Chains A and B, each alone.
Chain A
């Protein structure tokens, strides 16, 4: 019933991992096609041309944030070019089109008592966004970025955690069925800084999120968690890159996804690179998929590249299971109807992950949204 892939991990000689192009200017990039490795699973024809890097906005997203002591929010700040270049045309295109940058700052030494909720609401437009989340030294916070409504949206998030800072960022993609959402989430960790990055993707026609972690100093810790649910015809893609370039850093990746309905397609690619100088690295990544019904397809590609043997640990795993007719029959034979049976299995599948996310205020929301979407009712 379950197919498990565990690949051998071998130490490889160091090579140059500098991206071919790093730029804020979309014209510096060739237009991506499905022949490119990074886009080989992506339905290019459904991106509303965002990959051309020159689509203009027809409107904007409505942004709102709650006031939490110890934090500040600048909704439309200046677009300084003092920013590290993006690695693809979509992200650079978004940057070139947008007019202002929104910045959430968690002030130094502040330990926020409640979650900051940034809501990003679309009303059917083509829109672009750049959200910076700056966690200053020794600050800690939980930030929820809540994407809802409908939009064709390329919106990047840069998360900078200064020395000793700790942040949980939950990005909820709870879109209406028509939404197209493409985003890079770039995380930079200072000395002994930690991040728990959570991507929850439930709705939208195409959602493609690229979280990446860059360690700027030793001692950083990254936990990357993902939960996704793709209904009939939906394409949900997460591509992660964890770049262990510093000593004694840790990363742990857990992504779980469920597919329900015909032509549901999910993609998870987890690239982890342990560079030659990143001694003492400890990393593990796992992706689990559950096909609940229909002919959905879950692509899962763990990728671990190790250039030094002086590490604490490195591993990866990937499984895809199917809720089969025998399991359904068993549950039904105990009086549970088909819809309830799927809910039961789905709830069980995600329960431990919600526990790991440990942001109680999103639990019911996520559970309810998934159950409403189950069986293709949204």
Chain B
């Protein structure tokens, strides 16, 4: 059973006026089979946490630890982290001109599985996953995220998650920008992966909408660079009803 352990994580970014601390000591443990929702106001540092776990070079780790199944994640390069089983669905997925989705996914899967997939199986697998997420098959030949609508990008992130089948998936506002039908389709995709019990999910969101489909085991409230409150699904409803102000002095 995989487990991601984050302890006392502090992170800063470089700004024009020097370094600025964004994460001020994050403690969080996510195990395979669990779904954790992370909720917090704009600018509280949720994406920073997601990027720091994935190893984005913009963020400097100034303290704390992150481990995946006992291995030191912070020592790994970005691609090593992905191959070790970490996955980040980005809030703003990046366009990569010239690289087709099908080429990209095949290269990614080859890297993560350590060998090129059997071509016939692979085509079938890709087709099925795309169909499950209601992605037009023609998207396979389009360039990665180039000209994709916000919702199309989010679906494509979940397509990647489903094919990669990571140990730990961090989903950064995957629900933002989805219409009601897309939200259901994407949620079902997330649930399909979770149902296998091999993946732990950290779901960053602003809305309880998605939590109607993807049922969290734990809810964490993020405020000013740290987790200020933890609880069960009821916490999400409380936030929706009363906002974050109640945690400010917490």
Contact = CB atoms under 8 A, between A and B. Distances in A.
Interface of A: 1-2, 290, 321, 325-327, 329-338, 340, 344-345, 347-349, 351
B82 A333 contact: yes
12 contacts: A329-B78, A330-B93, A330-B96, A332-B79, A333-B82, A335-B111, A336-B108, A337-B77, A338-B79, A344-B103, A345-B99, A348-B98
B56 interface: yes
A335 B96 CA distance: 15
**Chain A at the B interface: SS class:** helix
A292 to B, nearest CB: 11
Contact of A336 (B57, B79, B88): B79
Contact of A2 (B96, B97, B100): B97
B164 A334 contact: yes
A335 B99 contact: no
B107 A336 contact: yes
Contacts of A332: 55, 77-79, 82
Interface string B73-116: 00001110111000110100111111110011001100110000
Contacts of A344: 99, 103-104, 107
Contacts, number: 81
B38 to A, nearest CB: 19
A135 to B, nearest CB: 34
B111 A340 contact: yes
Contacts of B81: 333
B108 A334 contact: yes
A259 to B, nearest CB: 15
A331 B112 contact: no
Contacts of B96: 327, 330-331, 345, 348
A363 to B, nearest CB: 16
B174 interface: no
A286 B156 CA distance: 31
B97 A335 contact: no
Contacts of B94: 326-327, 329-330
A349 B97 CA distance: 8
B160 interface: yes
B143 A336 contact: no
Nearest to A350: B98
A339 B201 CA distance: 30
B23 interface: no
Interface of B: 54-57, 77-79, 81-83, 87-88, 90, 93-100, 103-104, 107-108, 111-112, 143-144, 160, 164
B98 A345 contact: yes
Given A333-B78, A333-B88, A349-B98, 13 more contacts: A1-B95, A321-B97, A326-B94, A329-B78, A332-B78, A332-B82, A333-B87, A335-B79, A335-B82, A335-B108, A337-B77, A348-B99, A351-B98
A338 B56 CA distance: 13
A329 B78 CA distance: 7
B199 to A, nearest CB: 16
Contacts of B100: 348
Nearest to A349: B98
B152 to A, nearest CB: 16
Given A325-B57, A331-B104, A344-B104, A336 B111 contact: yes
B58 to A, nearest CB: 8
A348 B55 CA distance: 26
Contact of A340 (B55, B77, B90, B107): B107
By CB atoms of chain B within 10 A, which of A290, A332, A337, A347 has the most? A332
B90 A330 contact: yes
A326 B97 CA distance: 12
By CB atoms of chain B within 10 A, which of A2, A330, A340, A348 has the most? A330
B163 to A, nearest CB: 10
Contact of B54 (A325, A333, A351): A333
A70 B104 CA distance: 45
By CB atoms of chain B within 10 A, which of A321, A333, A345 has the most? A333
A321 to B, nearest CB: 7
Contacts of B107: 336, 340, 344
Which 6 pairs of residues, A with B, have the shortest CB-CB distance? Answer: A348-B98, A335-B111, A332-B78, A335-B82, A334-B108, A330-B94
Contacts of A327: 94-96
A334 B98 contact: no
B57 A334 contact: no
By CB atoms of chain B within 10 A, which of A1, A321, A327 has the most? A327
Contacts of B103: 344, 347-348
A127 to B, nearest CB: 38
A4 to B, nearest CB: 12
A325 B51 CA distance: 14
B139 to A, nearest CB: 15
Nearest to A325: B57
A347 B96 CA distance: 12
Contacts of B104: 331, 334, 344
A124 B11 CA distance: 55
A108 to B, nearest CB: 42
A335 B83 CA distance: 5
A326 B57 CA distance: 10
A42 B195 CA distance: 62
A176 to B, nearest CB: 28
A208 B164 CA distance: 46
A261 to B, nearest CB: 19
Nearest to B98: A348
